[in-house]
Structure 1
Amino acid sequence: MGENNEPASTGQIAADRLRSIRTGQQMSLRQLAERVNALGYPLSLAMINRIELGLRRMDVDDLTALAAALGVAPAALLMDLDVRSQSDIVSATGVQGDAEAMWDWLTGQKPPPGYDDDDEVFRHIRFGLPFWIRAGAAQMTWQDFLSAGVEPEERARWIADRLGNDIAPGPEGAK
């Protein structure tokens, strides 16, 4: 936590998590630097030390290379994973929610905590997920419409508006 009981920034959480995971694996700064450099990403021992101390910001490239070198998902650096209950409240810069909702968001499973109406969920599906997952969601939605008896053109238009024209089934899929 930051001063005055304010939530820590995501950058500070990531720096703390980096140090915690590294030391938990009994890995020295030198060993981590060697692993990161073996991945083809130049990050010196001194730079990693500065990140852990909060003297250097960790950019997205640093985050992904460090996570790979540690053998964890990048999301593992973005949230305190030592919370004891999925209902404990955790935060990231600008977002707060229970631990389970935050993890679901950080791992791409759900929209950010608090974003749960249908339009927000479909926005998450359309812009926050890979094509193959969006296509599966469109197929499931299409099946729901088929069972509800909604007209094919209306189904296709609704899905295209929410999930994108590139995955909306055409009316010929109405059979």
Structure 2
Amino acid sequence: MSKSFMTASCLLHFRVTSLLLRSNNPRKARPWTFRKNSPNILEMTTRQPVRRVELGPTGNAVADNVARFRKGQGLTLRQVADRMAEVGRPITHTAVSDIENRARRVDSDDLVALALVLGVAPSSLLMPHTTPSATGSATQVEVTGAGERSARDVWDWLRTDAALDPALDPREFRFRAVPAWADELAALGMDARGKERRRGNR
């Protein structure tokens, strides 16, 4: 029996074994990896499980909010993935699932795109969820780097209405956080679109 025939037989045997293992358990990772240009004819490796990323409280809030807004609109994971592709940030439906399960970080570009396709603002994804009643504003929520604060204080900060740090001068905060044109429109009693604010609107 020639050496080349033995090599081919060995390769066929391992390929068949791999297929059988996968057919018996579709969710089980393929235990065999065939690598080209390797000094060995075959290399047996095991696929490592997906590593869960460590998220802070704001990362957890984003993950929970993505899932909440998606399910609230009756969207599937694939529909969200399709919308992400339409706005130029293509990700797979599996990646969307990983985000919701806190197994994938959301960068700033994905955060904005997710807010766009879910029909909310980026601040909506960053805001920890509380009860919908008015009492929810007093609920203590955790923010990365700031610890626990009332939901109202966090929301005012995200809207640039007030600094989260009480020691920071309000005028200095607004000078840094709010575009100059927005401040000028506010002084004229207009909103960001140049329309007159309705009574009761902030």
TM range (shorter): 0.5 to 0.7
What is the one-letter code of the residue matched to 2:175? R
Aligned to 2:138, which of 87, 91, 99? Answer: 87
What is the one-letter code of the residue matched to 2:76? S
Determine if the alignment matches structure 1 residue 102 to structure 2 residue 154.
Answer: yes
1:41-66 deviations in whole A, cap 9, x for unaligned?
22221221111111111011111000
Provide the rounded CA distance (Å) in 1 between the counterparts of 2:77 and 2:96: 7
Aligned to 1:35, which of 83, 92, 115? Answer: 83
Provide the rounded CA distance (Å) in 1 between the counterparts of 2:98 and 2:173: 35
Distance 1:136 1:125, change over 3 A: farther
Deviation at 1:80, TM superposition (A): 2.5
Of 56-65 and 125-134, deviating more is: 125-134
Alignment of 1:50-69 (within 5 A): 50-69=98-117
Provide the rounded CA distance (Å) in 1 between the counterparts of 2:59 and 2:98: 12
Provide the rounded CA distance (Å) in 1 between the counterparts of 2:185 and 2:78: 44
Aligned to 1:127, which of 169, 176, 187? Answer: 176
The structure with the larger Rg is: 2
Provide the rounded CA distance (Å) in 1 between the counterparts of 2:73 and 2:184: 39
Of 56-65 and 119-128, deviating more is: 119-128
Give the match's secondary structure for 2:60: helix
Provide the rounded CA distance (Å) in 1 between the counterparts of 2:187 and 2:117: 36
TM-score (norm 2): 0.58
Counterpart position of 1:171: none
What is the one-letter code of the residue matched to 2:159? T
8 Å CA contact 1:9, 1:93 repeated in 2:
yes
Write out the 4+ residue segments of structure 1 that deviate beyond 3 Å after TM superposition: 134-139
8 Å CA contact 2:81, 2:92 repeated in 1:
yes
Provide the rounded CA distance (Å) in 1 between the counterparts of 2:103 and 2:137: 31
Identity of aligned residues (%): 35
Q: Which runs of 5+ in 2 are unaligned?
A: 1-55, 189-202
Aligned to 1:111, which of 158, 163, 176? Answer: 163
What is the one-letter code of the residue matched to 1:14? V
What is the one-letter code of the residue matched to 1:93? T
Aligned length: 130
What is the one-letter code of the residue matched to 1:47? A
8 Å CA contact 1:30, 1:45 repeated in 2:
yes
- RMSD value, Cα: 2.2
1:130-157 deviations in whole A, cap 9, x for unaligned?
1113446789xxxxxxxxxxxxxxxxxx
TM-score (norm 1): 0.67
Give the match's secondary structure for 1:54: coil
User: Larger RCO: Structure 1 or Structure 2 (Cα < 8 Å, ≥ 6 residues apart)?
Assistant: 1
Q: Which runs of 5+ in 1 are unaligned?
A: 1-7, 140-175
